[in-house]
Structure 1
Amino acid sequence: MSGTPKRGSRRLWIALAIAITAVVAAANIHLVHVSIASQPDCVPHLKAPDGSGTTYRAAKSSC
């Protein structure tokens, strides 16, 4: 019976897999929370909507 894994060893690997999954899920939840909670302030754009200025600007300004 040396070929079969011990019951405690299998439980340890399952517990380790659950712990790793929980850590990854918690990190992702934290990143989503931070990205939603941290909204940048309104930034002035270099190009006016009438076409003057540089070639790049926000598609739709929130200001």
Structure 2
Amino acid sequence: MSAAAGTGAKRPARRGIVLALALAALVVAVFVGANAHLVYVAVTSQPDCVPHAKEVGIDGAPLRAARSAC
């Protein structure tokens, strides 16, 4: 009878460990997926051109873009 009681006591502990590992795996998967999406968007997006001064001091702008992509 003690053997049956011993296996019954181990089962909830195993279930808790499995649940904790599954939850940890889910958190890691969401974290990796979010970072992968962030890298994908950063690499594939190209910002639109905005009007800016092409030369220093034109249109009252003291600064200009370092290198224009437009």
TM over 0.5: yes
Q: What TM-score do you get using the length of structure 2 for normalisation?
A: 0.67
RMSD: 2.1
Q: Number of aligned residue pairs: give it.
A: 59
**Structure 1 gap ranges (5+):** none
**Corresponding letter in the other structure for 1:56:** L
Are 1:46 and 1:56, in contact at CA under 8 Å, matched by a contact in 2? yes
Are 1:45 and 1:57, in contact at CA under 8 Å, matched by a contact in 2? yes
Tell me the SS of whatever aligns to 1:14. Answer: helix
Are 1:47 and 1:56, in contact at CA under 8 Å, matched by a contact in 2? no
| Offset, 1:43 | 2.4
Q: What TM-score do you get using the length of structure 1 for normalisation?
A: 0.72
Tell me the SS of whatever aligns to 2:16. Answer: helix
**Structure 2 gap ranges (5+):** 1-5
Work out whether 1:40 is the aligned partner of 2:47: yes
Which portions of structure 1, spanning 4 or more consecutive aligned residues, are displaced by more than 6 angstroms?
none
Match of 1:55 in 2: 62
Aligned partner of 2:19 among 2, 12, 22? 12
